[in-house]
């Protein structure tokens, strides 16, 4: 029988891979808490409208990538392709729009039907923060500063660059859209097929094209700056000033538009050259209209998401697994006492395993195979003295230790 394999675009997280994955989440959780963010958990699947309404009916995510199905009760549901829409739905569903601001941290799996490649899977994982309520540009700067602090804590900040842009307010985007349509229409025949389709649906997305035949045309495309209203320009300056005050270095990139329709004003990405073509490890922006799309009141918000897989690939090394302590009874007569010691060690947070089978030599061989840092050896004589033999499996030194002192010695 052919061995079963994981579904294309998914993978198992085992050993070092899982340690890297967990380290990213635990580090991000710790940093987010220091910024005042509280962790939420939302369902893995939602009513399809949560995403189709908010991500944009013509977005690539909605038209090509969502895992959508009808369940047995006839409900149309979708495995979440991103976290922000679900968090905004939860804000409204749980009556929290009157308790603002809400500072939310999130970590979990997302699902998109994409072409699998390095650092990109069909089931992938993200960390995510959302700062919901403040309309001040300093909120954007603080959210970005939190992301930068996560990257610093992971020791990968030196490998990434923050790029920022503004998408302006609704009036700015309307004027800019008209300018882009006029420009790209003149070059329609030279555009890629995908960009030609985007010209009809959402011309701003052409700026995000990675097609080589589009690059020369994009180089001469108009920028949004001349089309910003005075208020939008002032907001953008406030974000840049806030980043400087938080000590977050950045460079401006007028081509950043983000891939989802709900963004306005600030858009940003942390990018790297260390992962080849898949260069964005964290990105986000402001989305002041999303909560209203969920049936709530108009509510300003800003946030970001980061790919755990890509951050894990950037880590300078895998966090080491805690080496265990091997509890080695020399005979069945002392197994009950050995189990008592095992429970004592585990209660103290010490990783401990007991060797069950074979003579003393075989049990010690097993202790070496699991890379134990020490062996707690006990026989009937030791138990009578309420002691054990503690052997350091690195140096080979062995001493008798009272059971009452064992946890302290191992800690």
| pLDDT tier at 274, thresholds 50, 70, 90 | confident
Domain containing residue 372: 325-410
Tell whether the model's pLDDT for residue 278 goes beyond 60: no
Average pLDDT over residues 178-207: 85
Kindly state whether residues 118 and 240 are assigned to the same domain.
yes
0.85 exceeded by the pTM? yes
- Of 102, 106, 94, the closest CA to residue 133 belongs to 102
Tell whether the model's pLDDT for residue 14 goes beyond 70: yes
pLDDT at 91: 97
* Contact between residue 295 and residue 92 where contact means Cβ atoms under 8 Å apart: yes
Q: Is residue 210 part of a domain?
A: no
Q: Is residue 371 part of a domain?
A: yes
pLDDT at 362: 85
Kindly state whether residues 338 and 403 are assigned to the same domain.
yes
Kindly state whether residues 243 and 382 are assigned to the same domain.
no
Final residue in a domain of this structure, among 260, 289, 314: 314
Kindly state whether residues 154 and 26 are assigned to the same domain.
yes
Q: Give tens-digit pLDDT for 252-269.
A: 998 887 655 667 899 999
Cα radius of gyration rounded to whole Å, the chain: 27
Q: How many domains does the chain have?
A: 2
- Report the percent of the chain where pLDDT is more than 90: 63
Averaged pLDDT score across all residues of the chain: 90
Average pLDDT over residues 71-75: 93
Tell whether the model's pLDDT for residue 363 goes beyond 60: yes
CATH code: domain of residue 157: 3.30.930.10
CATH code: domain of residue 372: 3.40.50.800
The tokens describing 74, both together, are: 């006839």
Q: Is residue 217 part of a domain?
A: no
Q: Give tens-digit pLDDT for 304-345.
A: 999 999 999 999 888 888 899 999 898 888 999 999 999 999
| pLDDT tier at 212, thresholds 50, 70, 90 | confident
Kindly state whether residues 306 and 374 are assigned to the same domain.
no
Average pLDDT over residues 392-411: 91
Q: Is residue 301 part of a domain?
A: yes
**Length of the chain (residues):** 411
Kindly state whether residues 296 and 384 are assigned to the same domain.
no
Q: Is residue 223 part of a domain?
A: no
Kindly state whether residues 273 and 329 are assigned to the same domain.
no
Kindly state whether residues 255 and 344 are assigned to the same domain.
no
Kindly state whether residues 233 and 377 are assigned to the same domain.
no
Final residue in a domain of this structure, among 314, 341, 371: 314
Kindly state whether residues 136 and 49 are assigned to the same domain.
yes
CA distances from 81 to 1, 78, 113, 123, 270 (A): 35, 8, 9, 9, 20
**Under DSSP, is residue 298 helix (H, G, I), strand (E, B) or coil?**
coil
Tell whether the model's pLDDT for residue 58 goes beyond 60: no
- With a CB cutoff of 8 Å and minimum separation 6, the contacts of 179 are 222, 227
Kindly state whether residues 310 and 329 are assigned to the same domain.
no
Kindly state whether residues 390 and 245 are assigned to the same domain.
no
Give the residue with greater pLDDT, 354 vs 355.
354
Q: Give tens-digit pLDDT for 145-181.
A: 999 999 999 999 999 999 999 999 989 988 988 998 8
Q: Is residue 201 part of a domain?
A: no
Q: Is residue 183 part of a domain?
A: no
Q: Give tens-digit pLDDT for 335-352.
A: 999 999 999 999 999 999
Placement of tokens 């980061």 in the chain: 306
pLDDT at 306: 97
pLDDT at 60: 61
Q: Is residue 220 part of a domain?
A: no
Final residue in a domain of this structure, among 272, 295, 314: 314
Average pLDDT over residues 226-239: 95
């Amino acid at each position: 029988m052919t061995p079963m394999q994981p579904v294309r675009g998914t993978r198992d997280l085992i050993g070092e891979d899982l340690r890297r994955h967990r380290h990213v989440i635990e580090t991000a959780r710790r940093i987010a808490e220091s910024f005042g963010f509280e962790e939420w958990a939302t369902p893995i699947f939602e009513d399809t409208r949560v995403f189709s309404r908010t991500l944009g009916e013509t977005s690539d995510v909605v038209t090509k990538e969502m895992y959508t199905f009808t369940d047995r009760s006839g409900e149309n549901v979708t495995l979440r392709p991103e976290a922000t829409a679900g968090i905004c739905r939860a804000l409204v569903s749980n009556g929290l729009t009157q308790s603002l601001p809400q500072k939310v941290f999130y970590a979990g799996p997302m699902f998109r039907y994409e072409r699998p490649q390095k650092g990109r899977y069909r089931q992938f994982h993200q960390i995510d923060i959302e700062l919901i309520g403040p309309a001040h540009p300093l909120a954007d700067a603080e959210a970005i500063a939190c992301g930068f602090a996560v990257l610093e804590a992971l020791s990968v900040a030196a490998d990434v660059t923050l790029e920022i842009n503004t998408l302006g307010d609704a009036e700015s985007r309307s004027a800019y859209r008209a300018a882009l349509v006029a420009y790209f229409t003149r070059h329609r025949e030279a555009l890629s097929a995908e960009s030609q389709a985007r010209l009809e649906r959402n011309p701003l997305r052409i700026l995000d094209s990675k097609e080589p035949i589009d690059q020369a045309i994009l180089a001469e495309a108009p920028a949004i700056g001349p089309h910003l209203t005075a208020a939008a320009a002032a907001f953008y300056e406030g974000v840049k000033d806030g980043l400087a005050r938080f000590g977050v270095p950045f460079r401006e990139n007028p081509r950043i538009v983000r891939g989802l329709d709900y963004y306005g004003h600030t858009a940003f990405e942390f990018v790297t050259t260390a992962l080849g073509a898949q260069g964005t490890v964290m990105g986000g922006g402001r989305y002041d209209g999303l909560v209203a799309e969920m049936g709530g009141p108009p509510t300003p918000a800003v946030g970001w998401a980061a790919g755990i897989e890509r951050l894990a690939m950037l880590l300078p090394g895998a966090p080491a697994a805690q080496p265990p302590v091997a509890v080695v009874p020399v005979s069945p007569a002392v197994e009950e006492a050995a189990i008592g010691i095992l429970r004592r060690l585990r209660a103290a947070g010490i990783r401990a395993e007991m060797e069950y089978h074979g003579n003393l030599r075989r049990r010690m061989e097993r202790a070496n195979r699991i890379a134990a840092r020490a062996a707690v050896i006990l026989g009937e004589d030791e138990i009578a003295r309420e002691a054990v033999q503690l052997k350091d499996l690195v140096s080979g030194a062995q001493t008798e230790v009272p059971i009452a002192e064992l946890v302290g010695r191992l800690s």
